[in-house]
Amino acid sequence: MNIGVIGGGMMGLALAYRLSQQGHKITVFESNKQLGGLTTHHDYGPFVWDRFYHVILPSDTYLINFIKEIGLGEQLRWRSTLTGCYIDEKLYSISNSVEFLRFPPLTFIGKLRLAITLLYGSKIKNWRRLETIPVEDWLLKLSGKNTYEKLWKPLLLAKVGENYKRVSAVFIWSYIKRLFSARDSSLHKEQLGYVAGGYKSVFDQLDKLISASGSQIRTGAKVEYIAPCLQGGVWVEHNGEKEHFDKVIFTGPVNILQQVAAPELVNISATDGVEYLGVICMALITRKALVPYYIVNLADQRIPFTGVLGMSNLVSLQETAGLHITYFPKYVSADDPLLQQSDDEVRKLFFRGLRLIFPEITTDDIVAVHINRAAKMQPLQVLNYSSLVPKVVTEHNDFFVLNNSQFVNDTLNNNTVVKHVDNFINKNLF
């Protein structure tokens, strides 16, 4: 069958790879010049690495199997890492149970209630009930006011800004579930992983395998309109051309779907409610490590970014020309003016926060600063979110939607992407 796949991110390429292995002829359309979408790479000068920070958990079995299947199993690397927390103007290590028990900002009762929240949350299976409960109410009830104000509220503000008041308990529950599945995994317990060469090597390999099967990947090909064909199949318009496909699968964000899909293909009104969060991420390249942790959770409203990701505590320095890369993300609403500010303005703002946490940092330590952004990063999991997302099977037999807005009970990650692709393939819809 002749199938068009719109979007050359992880979803689109995993899908194109699986369908091309089944003997279908695929054409992938990617509007950017580079493949990878949110998982794409960036040229940092002395080295190339992911635009945003990515980690693989030992429990990411769908993703790990996929990486092995495309021949990159030998490129997987695993490393033990540490976790930190910046709270009350101090940096604490909370990398193991003993450190957590010592963690001064929370009282003994507060820690107990936090542990109960995590344990109870990890056991919950009926997430649909959680969709109707505001995350704030759920956490206050389970963890108590003190732990909520000290830990959860700053974390919610960090992840979704003031939107946290509209977010359901599924949002935090899915994080807890992912955290616990990582700890339960027997292989590489407590370790985190990555692919040598970063996600660029994954996309290069997929590009090679998909092209070798006779399918095509077109970059710089922005799809402008998708419409049904009276004789069957679907038209795809891009760069002034119109092409016919037997089936088309759309993998981009919902707002783009609304713009490009003809009303006969998909019920647009049902998808009106999906709101997106954006991300602004400063990548700092330094001569020495800023922190010994892979991740530092920030619970301090004076700091403009929401976490510190010491990527070089996970990734070998050989990957980054002997230099250290640290990411500083900030999650904002998709219409936040910060997303429109110049790199220089963002850098100045983020440096004010940087100096509060790392007052000893000097300009000599810094090799380069890169500001990366994504306006449509992640849907906001508001109350009853699952009723807002587009269905995989649409109003038209030959048009399908498979995108990350459909992760109604999961966090946004590439394991879930591959899981959704595998489920789609197993349903044998064509």
Ligand X SMILES: Cc1cc2nc3c(=O)[nH]c(=O)nc-3n(C[C@H](O)[C@H](O)[C@H](O)COP(=O)(O)OP(=O)(O)OC[C@H]3O[C@@H](n4cnc5c(N)ncnc54)[C@H](O)[C@@H]3O)c2cc1C
| Residues in touch with ligand X (CB under 6 A) | 6-12, 29-32, 37-39, 52-55, 222-223, 251-252, 256, 260, 279, 281, 329, 374, 377, 403-404, 412-415, 417
Q: Closer to ligand X at the Cβ: 106 or 285? A: 285
C-beta of 192: minimal distance to ligand X in Å? 9
C-beta of 95: minimal distance to ligand X in Å? 18
Helices (H) and strands (E) in the chain, counts: 12, 19
Query: What letter would DSSP give residue 267?
Result: -
Q: Closer to ligand X at the Cβ: 167 or 377? A: 377
C-beta of 10: minimal distance to ligand X in Å? 4
Q: What are phi and psi of 199, to 5 degrees?
A: -65, -15
Q: Closer to ligand X at the Cβ: 32 or 191? A: 32
Of 208, 205, 229, 238, the closest CA to residue 6 belongs to 238
Q: Closer to ligand X at the Cβ: 140 or 392? A: 392
- How far is the first Cα of the chain from the last one, in angstroms, to the nearest whole number? 9
Following DSSP, what letter does each residue of 80-110 receive, concatenated? E--EEEEETTEEEE--SHHHHHH-TTS-HHH
Q: Are 198 and 316 in contact (CB under 8 A)?
A: no
DSSP three-state, residue 30? strand
Q: Closer to ligand X at the Cβ: 6 or 85? A: 6
C-beta of 218: minimal distance to ligand X in Å? 9
Q: Closer to ligand X at the Cβ: 39 or 147? A: 39
Whole-number Å distance between alpha carbons of 128 and 126: 6
C-beta of 402: minimal distance to ligand X in Å? 8
C-beta of 104: minimal distance to ligand X in Å? 29
Q: Which residues contact 212 (CB under 8 A, 6 or more apart)?
A: none
C-beta of 266: minimal distance to ligand X in Å? 14
Q: Closer to ligand X at the Cβ: 111 or 200? A: 200
Q: Closer to ligand X at the Cβ: 106 or 380? A: 380
C-beta of 126: minimal distance to ligand X in Å? 25
Whole-number Å distance between alpha carbons of 381 and 419: 20
Among all chains, which residue has been given the structure tokens 């959860």?
A: 152
C-beta of 248: minimal distance to ligand X in Å? 11
Whole-number Å distance between alpha carbons of 364 and 287: 8
Burial of 104 from C-beta contacts in 10 A (0-12 / 13-18 / 19+): exposed
Following DSSP, what letter does each residue of 158-214 receive, concatenated? HHHGGGGGGBBTHHHHHHHHHHHHHHH-STTTTEEEEETTTHHHHHHHHHHHHHHTT
248: tokens are 């088309």
> Beta-carbon neighbour count of residue 188 at 10 Å?
18
